[in-house]
Structure 1
Amino acid sequence: MHKRKRRFTRDVLLVLAVLTTAVVVPVAYLATQARRDISEQFIDNVANQAVSGFRAMSLSMEATLGLIHDWGGGGRISIEKGDELAHLLLPVFDRERLLHGVTVAVRDGNSFYLYRTETGFRSRRVALGVEGDNADVVEWSSGHEPVTRSKARSDFDPLNRPWFGPALASGKIHWTEPYTFFTARKVGITASTSFVRKEGNERVVVAFDVLLDEPFAEFYNLAPSENSRVIIFRHDNQLYIPGSGGLQSGFLPMGKVEDNLVRKVHSNWTGEDNLADRVVSIFHDGIVWWCGFRPLDPGNPNTWICVMIPESDILGHAGRRRINLLMLGIGSILGAVALAFWIVRRGRRPFEGAASYFDTEHPEASVRSLIAGGENRAVEFKSTMRMNLHSKKPGKEIELAWLKGVAGFLNTDGGILLLGVTDDGEITGLERDVFENEDKCRLHFKNLIGKHIGADLSKYIRFILVPVDGTTVGVVRCARSGEPVFLKDGNKEHFALNPDFRTTGLSGTCGLSMIQKDAWKWEENEEHSRTSLRPRWRLMPSRA
């Protein structure tokens, strides 16, 4: 009897062990894999947004700097005419919100500097070789009008600044490493170039100053959860400290950093390229932190962004569900597997959606894949950006046609527009739009978005030029907007929808593409499932 009981007990324990192993091992594996996948996706999302934002800022600054270069070559820039130069440059600050200051300087040390202040702008024209008060200072209002004028003494010598020599020597656009600005006494970076002035054949340098606190502050705001952190490293083992609490902004040597978590994260960071493509986990004070690193400029991997997220923030109550899964899974293998699958799907859902996916690491392959899939509710092709192929002239109707598609994507679930691809998928490129160079193409795109959709909505739009088969395709990636988007055409505004979008609230159900703004009003719609329009709105006829 005792032997049978022992044998029965042994068999039960063996079966329980087998069942437990059969359930716990795959569930534990799935849970661990899900934890890593979700962590990587969170970090990739934030890091890629920061890198894309920094790159977009750089490209925009370079395009505008190229425009100033053209002005200089055409004889429109003269240091001697301070007020005229200020009136020429002040609108540039409206176009580039992160621009702190613009300097125009020549080899003899004379310079003109225009920069933002708390109340407006200030210009300073310096004649370096003059004794006494050698600077003409003008305070400008935010409306670009002169307020006060004064004389001052200035020792500013542009020849000693890190942006002057490289721009003077090459004539190309040069970005400096972070350094302390002469006037603001804060850390920033400068983009500079030079041109040859018609009068006297003299080379003139133009420089754009950007304070690091401004773009870096936007990176910190990208933190995806309450306890997550975004920090900036430099390749020479220094940590960026934003200007706050009386602390001057700049890079602090890691030896002076007192935050043990940051020091531990830094010890896992080598600054090498191979670390840019993976995520590491760090255990600190009983908490698992997932950390990912990206160079802000892949072409110059000196400054890196690090995203740090505690695992509890990533998984939330999914961790508690894993415990329940392990307990219930011993008695129900199918239930445990189904629950594990649900946990994985639940964590990944925010990052799925092939319609808005574009692999920036392999842009040409992504373009070919999109073309092979053909046009659909999330992918649209347009042959040109501005050129009417029948009249062989730029046409406003051509621009409005693809801008309508962009607005439609913003108002629904997002999508991708390929410029330079015909309706049947033939790659013809943007060369037929006859832009002088790629920077002019980007600037034209940016201006059209600002004019017809709104500069404040450009945060939902990404535009890149991709070389394919010896030509260039424009890729416009649109995310779903958090607010209704209207396409502006002169004094008229239209609400644009994806052509495949169907909506209720009208007389029956109908397909729409453009709706007059003044013919409808917005009304909140809690029955979100009745429409494919992602924001919770429905269109209702306006009442008199």
Structure 2
Amino acid sequence: MKNMKNKKHNSKGARFTVVGSILILMAGFLMVLMGLNVYQYFKIKPHFASEIMARLNRTEVNNIKGFFAQVSEKLLTVHDLGKNGVLKFEDIINLNRKFFPLLKNQKQVTGLILADSTGREYFLYLDGDSWVTRVSSVKGSVTHMVFQKWNGPDEPVKKWEKNVRDYDPRKRPWFRSSSSERRVFWSPVYRFYSTGKPGVTASVSWAESGNPPRTVVFALDITLSQIQKFLELQDDNKHELLFILNPRDKFFITPKYIGMIITAAPSVSETEAAEDSVLISRIFQAWEKAGMPLDSFVKVSMDSSKWLASLRPLEQGDEAFYVGIAAPERVVLADLRNTLFDVDFSDMAVALLGGAVVLFIFWKVGGFRSEKGQESVPPLLRIRDYIEQGEGSQVEFKSTVRTNLKTGKQGKEIEFAWLKAVVAFLNSNGGALLIGVDDDGRIVGIEPDNFENQDKCQLHLKNLINQHIGAEYSTYINISLVEIDERTVILIECTPCEEPVFMKIGKNEEFYIRSGPSSIKLSPSQTVTFVLQKIKAGG
């Protein structure tokens, strides 16, 4: 301080020399900093773009994979029922009772088929608010079809018949026998016989013994328009183009358009949808030429813009569908430019306090290393609705599948707690069980359960339900795994079952119903009274 006061009367020239030196030092510092930023921009630009595209595409895959996974899950459930001899073509009412709830709960499915290698077929679809079955049998070149309209599984209201020569279930694209156990097959795109609408069919097959032995196929129809509607719900970014691609059949689906890969550009009078066709066709050609990479992106030009695109498989077998996402390069790299260059303007103000101090603080704080948090996977709307509704007669929350959070150990009592809720929902008015949500409605995730992956978790849930409730009730239970804020939540939705459902624990069987927000165990006499009252009421 004293030295500074003693220099109070120094010449202005000296002061200007000092100021000039500081300014030169600061300018040099900022120029070096700017040069480093420019160098880093071009050095990490390809890696940064690849990471962003891969992250975005992983998010889309998780959302869309759930759409297809529900179909595969139901196919494999019915496959297990068929292998156990539960499905009989002769007992249509029993088939109705099993399949009406399945079709009702799978909004993406428009038709359900059970057929065998002798030419027999059971086909179920919805006509407005009415259920319609078509039971077919093939004799020579003629297929005899018996149609029935139903108000309920055992309430037929109308019947008609006809003979056709242009239909044999064994010659349909979905009728495939597979030597691989529990393999789901996805058909090429074709027009459905009943409606003429384009779509795809997922199927699974098994062998049944007899004289002669026969192949049985169970299949679910999905129209392309249903897939498109689902994409519309996922499409919340105007700067990106989300699409599903089938490389085998060379068709694609966007939220606005369904089309085929094209080799020639459309005329200038073509619509925006056709522009998407050109863009996706160029992406497909570049991706195919690059060897169909999954860990990087491809770059294509569209008019005067450059686009980046990444594709990932839905892992639905050999004929995989791919989820693709494309975005203009300027949009993808906007965060990189902001991260690097916006920092410089704040540095100018800080640099006034001292070049050396600014440089130390800048690197210490990590200005160049500013990161964007990973985007959370958007949750399904119905989970948010259930959480907002809170626990009650048709909603229950559980924190984990099998882990006691107080002890950190796995316990059967934790599994039995949520299995009781499932049984109670089935015996009452149905309901939703959310696992990974605590009693206060906060999302905590099932990570403490330490499942290796979502497939292992889903298999564990299915095995518990089969063991303690029964595989025959699987069609009344819908399981979804959803990632929300990097935490996994399980949604188990149950529809009411007409038959009484018991929970099996060892040699004992217990009967539960819902009473308010609780699952109540009934005594044997109470169970008999409850079941008789339910039958009397027509339930």
Q: Could you state the TM-score of these two structures normalised by the residue count of structure 2? A: 0.60
Unaligned ranges ≥5, structure 1:
1-9, 353-374, 422-426, 463-474, 481-487, 495-544
Which residue in the other structure is 1:292 paired with? Answer: 310
**Partner Cα separation in structure 2 for residue 272 and residue 443 of structure 1:** 45
Distance 1:388 1:14, change over 3 A: closer
Counterparts in 2 of 1:23-422, with a 5 A limit?
Answer: 23-29=33-39, 43-129=53-139, 134-141=144-151, 146-154=156-164, 155-167=166-178, 172-183=182-193, 184-185=195-196, 186-196=198-208, 202-236=214-248, 238-241=250-253, 249=258, 251-255=260-264, 258-259=274-275, 260-270=278-288, 275-280=293-298, 282=300, 284-297=302-315, 300=318, 302-310=320-328, 313=331, 325-326=343-344, 329=347, 334=358, 337=362, 345=370, 347-348=372-373, 350=375, 381-384=408-411, 387-388=412-413, 395-396=416-417, 406-408=436-438, 411-412=441-442, 414-419=444-449
Q: What do the CA deviations read for 1:27-82 (whole angstroms, capped 9, x no partner)?
A: 33566688777755654444224433454455443443333234334444233443
Q: Tell me how far 1:14 sits from its aligned partner.
A: 8.0
**Partner Cα separation in structure 2 for residue 340 and residue 308 of structure 1:** 34
What amino acid maps onto 1:161 in structure 2?
R
Contact kept in structure 1, 2:176 and 2:205, CA below 8 Å: no
Which residue in the other structure is 1:440 paired with? Answer: 462
**Partner Cα separation in structure 1 for residue 150 and residue 260 of structure 2:** 32
What amino acid maps onto 2:308 in structure 1?
W
Contact kept in structure 2, 1:63 and 1:439, CA below 8 Å: no
Contact kept in structure 2, 1:405 and 1:417, CA below 8 Å: no
Which residue in the other structure is 1:531 paired with? Answer: none
Which residue in the other structure is 1:477 paired with? Answer: 488
Q: Tell me how far 1:121 sits from its aligned partner.
A: 3.4
Q: What do the CA deviations read for 1:456-515 (whole angstroms, capped 9, x no partner)?
A: 9946359xxxxxxxxxxxx982399xxxxxxx9832338xxxxxxxxxxxxxxxxxxxxx
Distance 1:157 1:242, change over 3 A: farther
Q: Tell me how far 1:112 sits from its aligned partner.
A: 1.7
Distance 1:92 1:478, change over 3 A: closer
Q: What do the CA deviations read for 1:240-288 (whole angstroms, capped 9, x no partner)?
A: 14697xx8x5644444774243344334312767721123455645545
Q: Tell me how far 1:91 sits from its aligned partner.
A: 1.5
Contact kept in structure 2, 1:136 and 1:151, CA below 8 Å: yes
Distance 1:55 1:300, change over 3 A: farther
Give 3-state SS (helix, strand or coil) of 1:123's partner: strand
**Partner Cα separation in structure 2 for residue 192 and residue 210 of structure 1:** 15
Give 3-state SS (helix, strand or coil) of 1:347's partner: coil
Contact kept in structure 2, 1:112 and 1:124, CA below 8 Å: yes
What amino acid maps onto 1:157 in structure 2?
D
Q: Tell me how far 1:137 sits from its aligned partner.
A: 1.2
Unaligned ranges ≥5, structure 2:
1-19, 267-273, 352-357, 378-402, 423-432, 492-511, 519-539
Distance 1:89 1:395, change over 3 A: same
Structure with the bigger RCO (C-alpha within 8 Å, sep 6+) is: 2
Q: What do the CA deviations read for 1:67-107 (whole angstroms, capped 9, x no partner)?
A: 32343344442334434423332122134332332222222
What amino acid maps onto 1:123 in structure 2?
T
Q: Tell me how far 1:213 sits from its aligned partner.
A: 3.6
Contact kept in structure 1, 2:134 and 2:145, CA below 8 Å: yes
**Partner Cα separation in structure 2 for residue 489 and residue 28 of structure 1:** 67
Give 3-state SS (helix, strand or coil) of 1:164's partner: coil
Contact kept in structure 1, 2:185 and 2:317, CA below 8 Å: no
Distance 1:341 1:33, change over 3 A: farther
Length, aligned pairs only: 420
Q: Tell me how far 1:180 sits from its aligned partner.
A: 0.7
Give 3-state SS (helix, strand or coil) of 2:96's partner: helix
**Partner Cα separation in structure 1 for residue 209 and residue 235 of structure 2:** 46
Distance 1:125 1:266, change over 3 A: same
Distance 1:91 1:382, change over 3 A: farther
What amino acid maps onto 1:408 in structure 2?
D
Contact kept in structure 2, 1:27 and 1:337, CA below 8 Å: no
Alpha-carbon RMSD across the aligned residues, in angstroms, is 5.3
**Partner Cα separation in structure 2 for residue 38 and residue 492 of structure 1:** 52
